Amino acid sequence: MDKVIRTDSEWREQLTPEEYAVLREADTERPFTGEYTDTKTEGVYRCRACGAELFRSDAKFESHCGWPSFYQPTESDAVVLIEDRSLGMTRTEVRCARCDSHLGHVFTGEGYDVPTDQRWCINSISLTLEPVAS
């Protein structure tokens, strides 16, 4: 996979201010406001910043947490996990492996009835959805 490297100025030109805040500054969109929170469309979820495939709709589930939730990424090397202690607690940040954009966080052991016992809590604004062709 080819890495996508851009200057801060190039990212600001490419992304809206809201996209930039989440993808490049690790902000979080407000819960229950994202475009894909309740989407049932079949398809591939890609990184909004670089287009890398990250998740598929068959791994999306209803967690009722306010953000799209998946139980696994498409490929384990599609994302990078980083320890995040920013809010006085330890969480695991999820970033796109191709462009290092912030996507959200992954949580384990919450008791959801999914194969991995993980909830990949991803900001809608970090994603684009490519629907399956009919």
| 3-state SS, residue 56 | strand
* Planar angle of CA 131, 34, 82, nearest 5 degrees: 90
Residues 30, 116: Cα–Cα separation, whole Å: 26
Examine residue 68 and state whether it is found in any structural domain, yes or no: yes
State how far the Cα of 87 lies from the Cα of 116, in Å rounded to an integer: 25
**Total domains in the fold of the chain:** 1
Vertex 44 angle, CA 99 and 47, to 5°: 20
* Averaged pLDDT for residues 17-23: 97
- How many of the other CB atoms lie within 10 Å of CB of 124? 21
pLDDT single digits (tens) 45-84: 999 999 999 999 999 999 999 999 999 999 989 999 999 8
Residue 76 lies in a domain: yes
| pTM of the predicted model over 0.95 | no
Which residues are the active-site residues? 121
Give residue 69's domain range.
8-131
Query: Is 80 exceeded by the pLDDT of residue 87?
Result: no
